[in-house]
Amino acid sequence: MNRRSAARALRTASAVLVASLLAGCVQMPTSGPVEESEGTGVTEDVPGISFDPRPPQTGQATSEIVDGFFEAMTATPVSARVARQFLSREAAEAWVPEQQIITYSELGDVTAGTSVRVPLTDVNLYDARGAWQRTRAGATMSIGLVKEDGEWRIDEVPDALIVPESWFDDWYERASLYYFDPTTEVLVPEPVFVPRGEQFASSLVRGLLTTTSADLQDVARSYFPPGTTHGLSVPIVSGVAEVSLSGDPDAVDELTTERMLAQLVWTLRQEPRIGAVQLSIGGRTIVGPSGSPQVSLQLGSAYDPNGVPASTDLYALDRGRVVAGQLGELAPTLGPLGQEDSAVDLRSIGVNLAGARVAGVTAAGTELVLAPTEAATGEVATVVVGAVDLAAPHWDYRDRIWVLDRNGGRARVIQVVDGEAGEVEVPGLTGRRLSELIVSRDGSRLVAVLRRGSTDQVVAVRIRHDAAGAVIGFTRPQPLSLPAEDTARIRDVAWRSPTTVSVLRDIITDDLAQVRTVSVDGAPGEISTGGATSLRGRIRALVSTPVDLVEVYAVAGRSVFSLTRPEREVPDLAPGLTSLTYVG
């Protein structure tokens, strides 16, 4: 084996070692403050000032070289230029820090010698796209050094950017990469972290072109051909993002190009400076559907993960009748369940995204009925019978109903497709003690509340589909990042965006509840939308929607509180009004 091959083997072994140290059970944060109306903004200016770290100095010991290398990785704006100078020539040429990000809360003392061990605590691992992978309480990293031209240089290091968690929080922000579902009917957002500032758009495009993880198999697909790369950056000129990709433009058909553009537009529209996207492949500018090379940010609106069309009306039960409209102006629906003489006594409802059909759980919780909301002559069909304790039903964009039967602590997950109900086996959820279950509108995620002794846990599961849209399996449940609270009971969970959920739970103080918004990928850290809000009163329900600019409420009996406009006084619900909800 030659020296280059040996060095490569050492780097590979080091990377495998780090990966194995980081593998295993996820350890969630164990403490956190309860604060009033806190939040962080993803559109804030890039924090602080630029930091250009010192390169290696003459005569430095091995421990000083390693310390300098770790410091150099915190260059701002984000850059590996100086960090690369601490590596041997072969290692510098081979090092690919874009492969993953490793964050830590504290860096332990560096040992001396040619093989240095560096202890890390509270470690988080992110993949090449910036997607969070796992958390570990601690790990030890081995870094090998050699003498080159009389100076110590690092010759063995993982392909990773290794930085403090506090630095990462300051210089990276949450965003989403948009893929298609297996049917190519709807876009599916995947949460990632990308650098703030001038690198934001370029990092988003690089993430889209990076191979997805195995967990996304049969969940999301990309229309960018394998091996496609883009230039060093994505310049934004007069509001137009200029994306230049490698490849043969003649080898990409019109349909594939349109779907690539949809992925690009939905991903890049998160950059507020961008008003249009221009794509070139192999040096040839691609003309959009309108005939212009500059593609509007409205492209791909038919693939909206929130559903097209989707009603923004509120729905409720008014003494058993289904009503709809705006808060304070709810009127009976025209369908059979909105009539005074309706023979069905309901306790909860769920309405499809178009607002055209309603599913209702009977008062005993043993049956699920289905009826139109707009046709007075429509029939009421009973689609689930013999259940034990049905939770409120939820709909996805394919007009499928997902409903949880709590079943005395041995949960059953029921799916209703075209009026036919069937139980689906969800590993990690079926047979467990669940209190709530919701589905994302794009049909790619289930979120459930899992009861564990005196505390509850929120978990997310990915739904696998075939190309025809049939469910073919599920991923293992991923716990979501909630600060632990002694004997905290979760009362409700609701979608706040396509990739975040708000969680309502009791706090160990008399008459105090907390609403906290968390990411569905399980990544630690605060969410910009929602943050954490503490409320006085016996709050028992959230009325929320993933659609931007639509008001979100917390309900305590007849009292209603706005979570999006806390200063607004919301009128009490009318007597007899229950099960307030948005579509989905």
Residue at 179 is within a domain? no
Cα dihedral 168/217/475/160 (nearest 10):
-20
Residue at 382 is within a domain? yes
Which residues lie below 8 Å from residue 319, measured CB to CB, with a gap of 6+? 576
Cβ atoms of 518 and 468 within 8 Å: the answer is no
What pLDDT tens digit does each residue of the chain (584 aa) get?
433 343 443 344 344 444 444 333 323 232 222 223 333 333 345 556 789 999 999 999 999 999 999 999 999 999 999 999 999 999 999 999 999 999 999 998 887 788 888 999 999 999 999 999 999 998 999 899 999 999 999 999 999 999 999 999 999 999 999 999 999 999 999 999 999 999 999 999 999 999 888 788 999 999 998 878 887 789 999 999 999 999 888 888 999 999 999 999 999 999 999 999 999 999 999 988 888 999 999 999 999 999 988 899 999 999 999 999 999 899 999 999 999 888 799 999 999 999 999 999 999 999 999 999 998 778 999 999 999 999 999 999 999 999 999 999 999 999 999 999 999 999 999 999 999 999 999 999 999 999 987 789 999 999 999 999 999 999 999 999 887 765 578 999 999 999 999 999 887 666 788 899 999 999 987 676 556 788 887 899 999 999 988 999 999 999 999 999 988 899 999 999 999 999 99
Q: Say how many CA atoms lie within 13 Å of 396 toward its Cβ.
A: 28
Amino acid at 316: A
Q: Which of 143, 171, 199 is the last residue before a domain boundary?
A: 171
- Alpha-carbon distance 502 to 168, whole Å? 24
Q: Which of 136, 171, 206 is the last residue before a domain boundary?
A: 171
Which residues lie below 8 Å from residue 390, measured CB to CB, with a gap of 6+? 348, 361, 365, 366, 367, 368, 384, 403, 404, 405, 406
Residue tagged 């923004």 (tokens): 312
Which pLDDT value is given to residue 110? 82
Which pLDDT value is given to residue 47? 59
Residue at 255 is within a domain? no
Residue at 294 is within a domain? no
Residue at 371 is within a domain? yes
Domain span at 32 = 3-171
Long-range (24+ apart) CB contacts under 8 A made by 456-461 are 456/488, 456/489, 456/490, 456/505, 457/482, 458/482, 458/490, 458/493, 458/501, 458/503, 458/518, 459/428, 459/429, 460/520, 460/521, 460/522, 461/426, 461/428, 461/429
- Alpha-carbon distance 548 to 530, whole Å? 12
Residue at 555 is within a domain? yes
Count of C-beta atoms within a 10 Å radius of residue 579: 21
Residue at 342 is within a domain? yes
Q: Which of 155, 171, 187 is the last residue before a domain boundary?
A: 171
Which pLDDT value is given to residue 510? 60
Counted domains in the chain: 2
Q: Residue 524 is part of a domain; what is its CATH number?
A: 2.120.10.30
Amino acid at 357: R
Phi, psi at residue 568, to the nearest 5°?
-80, 135
Which pLDDT value is given to residue 26? 29
The candidate with the shortest Cα–Cα distance to 580, out of 568, 561, 459, 564, is 561
Residue at 129 is within a domain? yes
pLDDT tens digits, one per residue of 161-170: 999 999 999 9
Give the helix/strand (H/E) hosting 90: helix 89-94
